[in-house]
Structure 1
């Protein structure tokens, strides 16, 4: 039995308690300052108020953030369970107190775009934020897996990535079950870029849903247009992965994650609203209080592409979809899918 300390009681982080306890590990679920009600409710009833599921009846303990040091004491693994909006908080407050002999596994999907337009993933960002002379094994989870279906024990395929394959193998042994299937990769840049980009492009694919159902929602959802946007997403993501030096196999993680994200969740909702004709501000008002990582990732990805175009490394015309998404989000553009720009000739 191992002790797994999960810091951040969001949906996916909490869903990981199912395979973890299923393998007879002990889970310590620690809430961030924003998770107090989640932890209080779970401690009293076992019910997770945002995941909408009963958490495992045995093998799990609950902690508020002021008890995080107690929760880390004697732990074998630490999990970063915050959203993209909590990455800086985690880096400033949690990284410094994680013992060096405890590997970190991050479930947060995303990336940071530096002032010069360079794009780095969260494991790279965490490494850059470590206190001087501190070493920490920082690993991450990618792949198509929704929190509620993981909690329901639906078969899911994910990938754990990190620098040390032996650490990854140990992490896999703690979490892999008959329904939670884990591949391993030392291509951190490739995996993390792939699974981060899917949020941006899932918003773009979802525009077609809104366009089809119309402003009042009475229309019929179409799939030809979604498939066309899905294909363009693959084309652009494959290009970006090559630019960052990622292995081509990572497009599998992008494609799978894109598929599951388009079929449900927050990103689908914002894309659909925009496609229906709501302005970005109007759509955001309707989704007030909802964590929308896709907005951040789309903006950062577009900033990276624009910086490469400015340097003459790429052409903006090779990325019409992500640029249009960025124009909608940050320049007030109306949805006008650049279908003609997707066409190509192959001789």
Structure 2
């Protein structure tokens, strides 16, 4: 399960939420290679979501996420140990309460998404979750004090129309369960905005550390009550899930070292393609026409907001 405006790796890809520290000063702009890495990373996160759905259908989502976060915490500690200042530097935050809030939001978002995978399927869950970057654009004003112009407000409105196309108001049973990815998208959007806020004072590795370690502590307090021994084959799936998560995070870091976030973010939407293929071919999800149309509208609106943000960054007067 495997990340909002151009997004850094802590609040992107658009359809999935990796918590990875960005490199705001790429030392080598090799955009073509970075795009290939981003597309491959999106595939990895789609596979991760498929495994999360598989395990979430047999075990409590909090338990699945707890095991993932234990592995993630070791990954974070190993990464932090290689950075200048090590653990002593990573733990020093100027916004400790906001960092804890970020960690709790991300953990909650992952748990809710796994529950949504089981109830709605991968395709419809991700089709709804694509609204997250537009929520970031809408909330960047009240949370970060950024100006949101009429063009982006129009794109946000169009994106919500796309979500309505996916939801088909009137289908009450589906609409109730569809609140899960909507809630997750809102949590992920706030998480991403808080990430941008704390990045003004805390280095990326600090945010990465707090996300992994305090997230692991929080989910352990919930997941430990659902402990049970996995079936032998499920240990294989869990190990693969953890390895995919670590590999995806590493590749995402590499991609953002090679190119700017605004150039890479549009390719994060390829995860929607990958996850749809997995949902249909592996889990038998139905690819309904309204979901395809609605998701296309939302992605188009999201790409427009990314383009406007990039134009605004290049020409501050826009």
TM-score, structure 2 length as denominator? 0.32
Higher-helix-fraction structure: 2
Instruction: Using CA pairs under 8 Å that are at least 6 residues apart, name the structure with larger relative contact order, 1 or 2.
Output: 2
Give the structure with higher Rg (CA).
1
Higher-strand-fraction structure: 1
TM-score, structure 1 length as denominator? 0.30
